[in-house]
Amino acid sequence: MWGFPVPKGRVSIVVERCKACGFCVEFCPTKVLALSSAFNSKGYHPPHVVEPEKCSGCDLCGMYCPDFAIYGQKVAEAKTPAKPKTEAPHES
């Protein structure tokens, strides 16, 4: 296939504020996030990005987070590379 998907959004996580409630993981429309096995200093597992290319930057994670510990942003869209021309087979 020609062209490849690039992430349209980027998630940032304020690790120390997270209380691992799981809202962001559950309600991300494209399932970008999962709770990590890492700990913050309070002992909670903050989320991490598992499917970065699926992030649209919708910021639903940010809207759901009760601890202001995560947010999404749109990034400038990278252009997908153009499809190279294929020559039509000549008919002779």
Partner 1 sequence: MINITNPVDGTPVSGNVVEPFLRSDRMPHIWCPGCGIGTTVNSFAHALIDSKIDLKTVALVSGIGCTGRVAGYVHLDSFHTTHGRAIPFATGLKLANPKLNVVVYSGDGDLSAIGGNHLIHAARRNLDLKVICVNNLVYAMTGGQTAPTTPDHAITSTSPYGQCEPSFNLPHLVEAAGAVYVARWTTFHVRQLARSIGEAFQKKGFSFIEVISPCPTLYQRRNKMGDGLDTMKFYKEKSKVRHGAPTSEVGLTMNGEIAVGKFVDRDRPDYQSLLHAQMVASLGDRYIEQADFEPEESCACS
Tokens of 70: 């995560």
Using CB under 8 A, which of 30, 52, 78, 80 touches partner 1? 52
Q: How far is CA 29 from CA 16, 58, 64, in A?
A: 24, 9, 12
Buried-state track 49-67, b at ≥16 Cβ within 10 A, e below 16: beeeebbeebbebbebbeb
Whole-number minimum distance, CB 83 to partner 1, in Å?
Answer: 27
Our finding on whether 54 is near partner 1 (CB under 8 A) is: no
Our finding on whether 23 is near partner 1 (CB under 8 A) is: yes
Chain residues binding partner 1 by CB under 8 A are: 7, 10-17, 19-23, 26-27, 44, 48-49, 52, 59-60, 62-68, 71, 73
